[in-house]
Amino acid sequence: MSSARPASGRGPGAVAARLTGLAATAERPLSGALTEVVLDGGRVVVVKRADAPGAVRAEAAGLRWLAATGTVRVPTVHGHDGSWLVIDRVPPGRASADAAVRFGRDLAALHAAGAPAFGAPPPAGPQDAYIGLAPMRNIPGDDWPSWYAAHRVLPYLRRAVDDGTVRSAEAAVVERVCERLPELAGPAEPPARLHGDLWNGNVLWGADGHVRLIDPAAHGGHRETDLAMLALFGCPHVERILDGYQQVAPLADGWRDRVGPHQLFPLLVHAVLFGRGYAEQALAVARAALTR
Domains of the chain (ranges, CATH numbers): 12-88 (3.30.200.20), 97-290 (3.90.1200.10)
The active-site residue out of 51, 163, 197, 253 is 197
pLDDT exceeds 80 at position 8: no
How high does pLDDT run on average in the chain?
95
Q: What is the pLDDT of residues 278-292, one digit of tens each?
A: 999 999 999 999 998
Look at residue 62 in the predicted model and tell me its pLDDT: 98
Q: What is the mean pLDDT of residues 255-282?
A: 97
Confidence class of residue 82 from pLDDT cuts 50, 70 and 90? confident
Look at residue 78 in the predicted model and tell me its pLDDT: 96
Q: What is the mean pLDDT of residues 258-265?
A: 98
CA geometry: angle at 191 spanning 59 and 209, to 5°? 55
Q: What is the mean pLDDT of residues 198-203?
A: 96
Distance CA 177, CA 180 (A): 5
Q: What is the mean pLDDT of residues 240-261?
A: 97
Q: What is the pLDDT of residues 155-167, one digit of tens each?
A: 999 999 999 999 9
Look at residue 1 in the predicted model and tell me its pLDDT: 43
Look at residue 32 in the predicted model and tell me its pLDDT: 84
User: Which of 264, 255, 267 shows the shortest CA–CA distance to 286?
Assistant: 264
User: Which of 174, 167, 262, 270 shows the shortest CA–CA distance to 221?
Assistant: 262
- Adjacent-strand bridge partners of 36: 28, 46
Confidence class of residue 131 from pLDDT cuts 50, 70 and 90? very high
Confidence class of residue 266 from pLDDT cuts 50, 70 and 90? very high
Cα 59 to Cα 66, 130, 134, 265: the distances in Å are: 11, 8, 13, 19
pLDDT exceeds 60 at position 199: yes
Point out the least confidently predicted range of 2-6, 79-83, 95-99, 137-141.
2-6
Q: What is the mean pLDDT of residues 84-90?
A: 96
Distance CA 268, CA 137 (A): 15
The proportion of the chain whose per-residue pLDDT surpasses 70, expressed as a percent, equals 97
pLDDT exceeds 80 at position 40: yes
Look at residue 9 in the predicted model and tell me its pLDDT: 52
Active site annotation includes 163: no
The DSSP H or E segment spanning 236 is none
Tell me the whole-structure pTM to 2 decimals: 0.93
Confidence class of residue 51 from pLDDT cuts 50, 70 and 90? confident
Residues 6 or more apart whose CB falls under 8 angstroms from that of 42 comprise: none
CA geometry: angle at 282 spanning 278 and 287, to 5°? 145
Confidence class of residue 2 from pLDDT cuts 50, 70 and 90? very low
